[in-house]
Amino acid sequence: MKILITGALGQIGTALSHYLGSRYGVQNIILTDIKSHVEDRTLQDFTYYTADVRESRTVKTIIREQGINTIYHLAAILSATGENIPLKAWDINVNGLVNILEIARERGCSVFVPSSIGSFGPSTPLQKTPQVTIQRPVTMYGITKVTGELLCDYYYRKYGVDTRGVRFPGIISSEAPPGGGTTDYAVEIYYAALEKNSYECFLAPHTRLDMMYMPDALKAMVSLMEAPASHLKHRNA
């Protein structure tokens, strides 16, 4: 198992790097992100490359030279940030994903691509939401996630690329600062308490948002990727 993580310096990527490193060995986990270097000292033992997922030649070279056979594709512009820069969110979230899927098709890699509850919209049933249901999101992030779900299904059906993914709610952790997601206020509030002794939340008092603890998210991702293909009823989302 030789694994590449894109967006490895983000909230999920940082935690996933440690989780996979302890499971398969640090030497078998290759990290990439758009940042020029790794600031987190806990990641210094990993092999790291600066790479933009929109530049397929760079990513392809890394995958070939490192003998990668599994990709956790986490590079993305998240929901709240995406509303400020919608065209860049589309470029990274969709065009970047297409690059990864094309490379996976050429190199025979398995790919994990996270989706999100952001792929749902106001017309989606709120209670006991079906697996296959109405998805009419009203944010650019949600639109890119629905597109990503369809692209992953397409590459599996047409080319046999081993794509897998789940729809995550907000993920709560302390290992890395928030990265611009809708539920990031749940983590930001603690940073603000330490730095400013106060925090003003942008949500209405009675708003509820689903959240998940990071260790549970990591277990879900890796368990899905390790599962035999014959056991999967739904591959993506």
The residues annotated with a catalytic role in the active site are 141
Structure tokens at 217: 């998210």
Q: Which of 35, 5, 40, 34 is nearest to 19 (CA)?
A: 5
Beta carbons within 8 Å of 29's beta carbon, 6+ residues apart: 3, 5, 17, 20, 21, 46, 47
Rounded Cα distance between 192 and 206, Å, is 21
Structure tokens at 140: 């650019």
Beta carbons within 8 Å of 128's beta carbon, 6+ residues apart: none
- What's the full length of the chain, in residues? 237
Rounded Cα distance between 46 and 201, Å, is 36
The alpha carbon of 44 is separated from its chain's Cα centroid by a whole number of angstroms, namely: 21
- Write the DSSP string, 7-59: TTTSHHHHHHHHHHHHHH-GGGEEEEESSSS---GGGTTSEEEE--TT-HHHH
